[in-house]
Structure 1
Amino acid sequence: MAHPRISKYLPPNIDPTKATIAYGHRALPKLNEELQSEDLKTKHKALMALSDLVHDPENVFMAIRIGFLDSLKKLLYDVDDFVRIKTTEVLYIMAGHNMGRESILDQDVIISLSFLLDDTNPICRKNLFLVFKHLANLPSGAHSIVNSGLIPSMVWKLQKEQEFNQVLLLDVLASCLMEDATSALNTNVVLLLKEKLTSPNDEIRMKAAHTLTAISIPLEGKKQICQFNVIPILVELLNDKVKEVQANAAGVLMFATVITEGKYAALESDAIPLLLNLLESPLSKARLNAVKTLTMLAEAPEGRKILRSHVALFRSLEGDNSVAVKQAAKIAIKVIEWKP
């Protein structure tokens, strides 16, 4: 005769760490109420469930309408590490959707997030930088971060952070400084990025050079790159094992050699042979940056003299599959062949 037995195990596909989601239109409002609960376990479960739901753009739209951002802003100050980690995770997932980014900017969540720059938990800081990275993809987001006065703090964090966070931080800085590099130039950002150019980490070298490109656009940035003797390191990176690093280094040189000091610093570092090699790079960005940098160097009599014997190489680029490279090659030939 069979006897009834009650298993001590949970049914399959049941996650005890997540809140039970209400049916239909009550699902998100119920979670929002649970986020405001005084019970820590209830908040944990609600955040776990929410982090799954916000992958769906429709749920992001509904969450914003219900007022989730106000609840999440308050949770950023919670003393519990897990609450802060999951809150920032939810925010960076939401920031991956256009409506999420715009709402985060409209509701001044950046100020609340800024208090986590010094959070003791590296995963929480990682999520924070992911939110900023998504926001900075929009010009309005980059401006908001700059206008919040966070650039000096992020530059300072660059020398303290773990490598996986440095990579994210460099992405954020590059996007923000493309919009406005003024606040960064009042810090020691060029010296810090100079140090990162020699990092054994490929991603850090690549992104440090990309961030320096943004720094080198304003005149003051060009001057500081020359002042702090960054150009010899950039020339060395033209021969880096990573193609993207080569391309980004050429991009910085392209801007830095606009000024006379930059031109002669590059010539003295013997940049021309390495730049000529880069004209055959598989990356169109690298070829373009190299052509434009060589054009800058050809404006100096010493550079023009060296490059006259390489005009044929520039002519071969007139058949390049990149329209920008073709046009740049034609301009380079005119500058090289110019006679006073």
Structure 2
Amino acid sequence: MAHTVISAHYPPLIDPTRATLAYGDGALPRLNRELNSDHLKTRQRAIMALSDILHDPEFVDASIREGCAVGRLALVKFKLIVPLSQLFDDREIIVRRNAHKAIEMLSENIYGSVGIIEAQLVPILVNNLTTEDDKIKLIILDTLHFCLMVDTTEALNVNAMSVFKKLLVHPFTETRMKAARNIMDLSIPLAGKVKAVEQSVIIPLTLLLSDDDATVRAKAAGALAMITIIKEGKYAAFSAISRLVDLVTDELSEVRLNALKALTCLSEAPEGRRALLVHVKDLEELITDPVPAVGKAAEIAVKVITWLP
């Protein structure tokens, strides 16, 4: 005689860690409700499901297009960004981490970055860099990186430069690298360069030129190249010249390139030019560097250093 047996196992194509998506336009509203659930597992499953669909750029683009009638950012901002940001204070670290990761994935799309800025999350993200778990800090640094590429105003207003500076001495290599990268991003506008000098960021950046990790050295040199464009930055960074000269033969092309750019800026000041004249022959050898960008940067550096009024 046949018996009906109900298995305790999920079907092979069902993932119990992710929420089931509603069909079509109902997907986001349902996820929004579940993100605000009082039940931890429901919140976790909603975030995991959302993280999955945010890996698909077509979904994000479609979401943005659907919001055109009420503004291109409306749907992404109010149905994704704001609900996710409300989970930044969740008592469960896994919920906070996944919420930050989802926001970071949204920031990779320029409309997502704009939405994050308009939702006034930059001050919250900068503050969370001082309190959050180290692994979540890495995610936040990436989110801010994409936002800074759009606009640096909010980050400068909440003193992000000081927060990034403190992370330059972090024990995690990746944290030091991303902090230096974000300082470079923040130093693109004049106000950022001035703030970097005022906050004495040049000193820890100079120390990172000797970091064991090449990517850290590259970002530190890149940040110095950006800051030394202004006169105050040049005169504050003369102590970095010898370390930058050592980096022009670094095995990583990004390090060589950024070091050359920084040296070029420093040589625009008479004191910097005099200090670098003894290194012209070494720099001339880099004109034939296998990486064209490095060769071009070396050529420009030599011209600036040997320039006569």
TM-score, reference length from structure 1 = 0.81
Residue identity opposite 2:41 in structure 1: F
8 Å Cα contact 2:205/2:220 also seen in 1: yes
Structure 1: any 5+ residue segments left out of the alignment? 22-43, 55-62
Offset of residue 331 of structure 1: 1.0
Q: Which residue number corresponds to residue 225 of structure 1?
A: 196
Indicate the larger mover: 127-136 or 63-72: 63-72
CA change 1:126–1:64 in 2 (3 A) is farther
Q: 1-side partners of 2:259 and 2:291: how far apart?
A: 14
Q: Which residue number corresponds to residue 272 of structure 1?
A: 241
Q: Which residue number corresponds to residue 156 of structure 1?
A: 127
Structure 2: any 5+ residue segments left out of the alignment? 68-74
Question: What secondary structure, in the 3-state scheme, does the structure 2 residue paired with 1:116 have?
Answer: coil
Matched, 1:287 2:256: yes
Offset of residue 112 of structure 1: 1.7
Residue identity opposite 2:26 in structure 1: G
Q: 2-side partners of 1:206 and 1:217: how far apart?
A: 17
8 Å Cα contact 1:104/1:110 also seen in 2: no
Matched, 1:191 2:162: yes
Residue in structure 2 matching 1:116, options 61, 71, 87: 87
Q: 2-side partners of 1:248 and 1:78: how far apart?
A: 41
Q: 2-side partners of 1:86 and 1:104: how far apart?
A: 20
Residue identity opposite 2:18 in structure 1: M
Q: 1-side partners of 2:275 and 2:23: how far apart?
A: 61
Q: Which residue number corresponds to residue 15 of structure 1?
A: 9
Q: 2-side partners of 1:276 and 1:19: how far apart?
A: 59
8 Å Cα contact 2:19/2:48 also seen in 1: no
Residue identity opposite 1:229 in structure 2: S
Matched, 1:323 2:279: no
TM-score, reference length from structure 2 = 0.89
Larger Rg: 1
Q: Which residue number corresponds to residue 18 of structure 2?
A: 48
Q: Which residue number corresponds to residue 136 of structure 1?
A: 107
Offset of residue 191 of structure 1: 1.1
Offset of residue 20 of structure 1: 8.2
Residues 199-257 of structure 1, C-alpha deviation per residue, up to 9 Å, x if partnerless?
A: 11111111111111111111111111110111011000000011111000011101100
RMSD: 2.4
Matched, 1:181 2:175: no
Offset of residue 15 of structure 1: 3.2
Offset of residue 102 of structure 1: 2.3
Q: How many pairs align?
A: 297
CA change 1:226–1:64 in 2 (3 A) is farther
Q: 2-side partners of 1:245 and 1:166: how far apart?
A: 17
Q: 2-side partners of 1:49 and 1:217: how far apart?
A: 42
Matched, 1:94 2:53: yes
Q: 2-side partners of 1:94 and 1:301: how far apart?
A: 55
Q: Which residue number corresponds to residue 261 of structure 1?
A: 232
